[in-house]
Amino acid sequence: MDELTKLRDFRADTAALDAEQLDAGARRLTEQIRGTTPARRRTAAGDVLRFAVATGVRRACLAGLTAAAVTAGVLVALPGSGARDEPARTLTIADVLDSAAAHAAAAPAKEPSAHQWLFSREYGCMATCGTQEEWYRYDGNQKAFRDPMAKGVRVLVNDFGPRVAPAGLCKIVEDAGARPQETRARLAALPTEPRALLEALREDPYFAAVSTKIDKLPASSPAAAFDRVVVLLSLTETAPPRTAAALYRAISYIPGVHLLPRPVKDAAGRPGLAVESTQRAAGHDIRSTLILDPKTYAYRGLRVEGGPWKYSSARLGVAVVDHPGQRPGGPVPPPSSITVRPFTIKDPSC
Amino acid sequence: MPDGPDDATLIARSADEPEVFAQLYHRHAAELHRYVARRLGSDLADDVVGETFLVAFRRRERYDARRPLALPWLYGIAANLISGHRRSELRAYRAFARTGADPVARTGGSDADADAVDGKVAAQASGPAIAAALRSLSDGDRHVLLLVAWADLSYQEVAEALGIPLGTVRSRLNRARKKMRAAIPELDPILDEEMHHHG
């Protein structure tokens, strides 16, 4: 027996962390990394005001809707639509999505330039809740965020390398949201007739892969179709207005998707109109909910719940800005605060 | 090896999705915690391990992506933090050496307690001597010795963890082993040949 063996016996009975302690530690770490405790609703609402994302209430939309109330509709108590004693309106899912489509179609069609940045601010809950800000460069080659641990402003820019990576170089981010310019071009080429659009999304491998990543659903299932459209709607300023409108309309053509009679709160606690699809995946009934702005019916958040999954996200603001790390209307982060880092992985198998 | 992407890939991805860092925690925290608890006790280990991952997150962009396993890197960060608790570590060694009772002994109730007590009795004979010897080492030597003996790192990994040349790892380890050997009464204090060559 030598000294190393003796030493290995020393305090050899030191206990290891159990699974519960590990989970707690991981949770604490995530919270600290996020630098956030769950935001109060007041803060979230303030952010929305500050970012002034919505282009304003489309009165025309609402007025049209009220007139168009159909017998087969659902009685919906619209949240935040004025006086408390306002009578609930009867809406059908088609009404709601038509209005959302009309609203989307009226949005400015100006496409960002390749080196502009799509800013988004979201409040999301997965294991823990937190506010997340991201900047995607429109050409999809870079993504930026502010270092949550930094004192002062520190913008980290991930450089994903050329759009088509050479052999031996793996690209890390590949989803449609990370490539806004390409995604927009591809979306613009799709048919806008609802059924044809749903079919095109299902058949095109680029879009077939789009999902909330909760679980792999059979690509041809209605739930997967709903999931794809919801994710595409959640992207920041990516679809051309005509296609965005078609996406909203297409939802009412997906079997089993229905409008909930009551407002549903998004992750940030704001009530909105809820369109829901239920699915069975991995032995669990999973509810996916698209939450729409109660006034403009535009995308405002999503929720996935069921089995082990619980995920929700609320859009607090989106905008096109000229610099990474720049908030809408905010100052331009100085060049010294920006760190660009190569984000490709060398791997011969790529 | 754990399933899924290697540590380097996780760390790279965590820049986009900080939650991914929690996966790194799940992979390595238990091992790291046991090592730190062995040196500082369980309570301090909670703090040190939590801080280790936070520091790692802040430094993630400096992680060398060519290294698939992040454990040596994490041990290196932990070593720095452990040094910050040097007095506490040394106080416990001294108490153990003087009283024969280890203040860092395992606490808390579990079914394994009965076995643990037996193990402790068996380990106790040379315990105070080892504690005294550990206390007598320099910080640098102690890190190298314990990373090899308790964390099972290779010399190369210790060099990476502590940011020192391989030769320094060898010389520190030899010096530390020599002291340990001399301090443990039931071992022959005569050193083997290899030690003389490298020491």
User: Do the chains contact at A156 and B15, CB–CB below 8 Å?
Assistant: yes
Q: CA neighbours within 13 Å on the CB side: how many for A49?
A: 6
- Decide if A126 is inside a domain: yes
In a domain, A12, yes or no: no
Query: Residue A316 in contact with residue A123, Cβ under 8 Å?
Result: yes
B53 touches chain A (CB under 8 A): yes
How far apart (Å, rounded) are the C-alpha atoms in residues B108 and B112?
10
Give the DSSP H/E element, type plus range, for residue A310: strand A309-321
First to last CA, chain B: 35
- Which residue type does B109 have? G
Mean pLDDT, residues A176-196: 89
Predicted pLDDT of residue A197: 96
Is a pLDDT exceeding 90 seen at residue A193?
yes
B20 touches chain A (CB under 8 A): no
Compute the distance between CA of residue A243 and CA of residue A107 in angstroms, rounded to an integer. 11
pLDDT value at residue B111: 38
Q: Please state the domain count of chain A.
A: 1
Of B16 and B76, the one with more pLDDT: B76
Instruction: Check if the beta carbon of residue A48 is closer than 8 Å to that of residue A100.
Output: no
Domain region containing A146: 38-346
Using the Cβ of B67 and the Cβ atoms of chain A, whether some distance falls under 8 Å is answered with no
As a whole-number percent, the residues of chain A with pLDDT over 70 amount to: 72
Q: Examine residue A163 and state whether it is found in any structural domain, yes or no.
A: yes
Q: Between residues B116 and A138, which one has the greater pLDDT? A: A138
Residue A3 forms part of a structural domain? no
Contacts of B13 in chain A (CB under 8 A): 172
CB contact under 8 A, B187 and A149: no
Among A303-317, A327-341, B78-92, B149-163, the range scoring the smallest mean pLDDT is A303-317
Q: Which domains does chain B have, with CATH numbers?
A: 1-84 (1.10.1740.10)
Domain assignment present for A9: no
pLDDT band at A203, cuts 50/70/90? very high
State the pLDDT at residue A220: 82
Query: How close, in Å, is residue B59 to chain A by CA atoms?
Result: 10
Spatial separation of the C-alpha atoms in residues B97 and B116, rounded to whole Å = 20
**Contacting residues of B for A173, CB less than 8 Å apart:** 16
The answer to whether residue A104 is domain-embedded is: yes
B143 class by beta-carbon count within 10 Å (0-12 exposed, 13-18 middle, 19+ buried): buried
Chain A hits for B12, CB-CB cut-off 8 Å, are 172, 343, 345
* A164 backbone dihedrals φ, ψ, rounded to 5°: -105, 110
Q: Do B19 and A156 touch (CB under 8 A)?
A: no
Q: Is residue A4 domain-resident?
A: no
Report residue A101: phi and psi, to 5°. Answer: -65, -45
In-domain check, residue A166: yes
Which residues of chain B make contact with A30, given a CB cutoff of 8 A? Answer: 18-19, 21-22
Above 60 in pLDDT, residue B118?
Answer: no
Q: Give the phi and the psi of residue A302 in degrees, each rounded to 5.
A: -140, 160
Cβ of A25 within 8 Å of Cβ of B25? The answer is yes
Return the higher-pLDDT residue of B190 and A220: A220
Reference B26, options A15, A18, A38, A309; nearest CA is A18
> Which is higher by pLDDT, A165 or A275?
A275
pLDDT per residue as tens digits for the range A75-89: 555 554 444 444 455
Centre a 10 Å sphere on the Cβ of residue A48 and count the other Cβ atoms it contains. 19
DSSP 3-state of A281:
strand
Mean pLDDT over B143-151 rounds to: 96
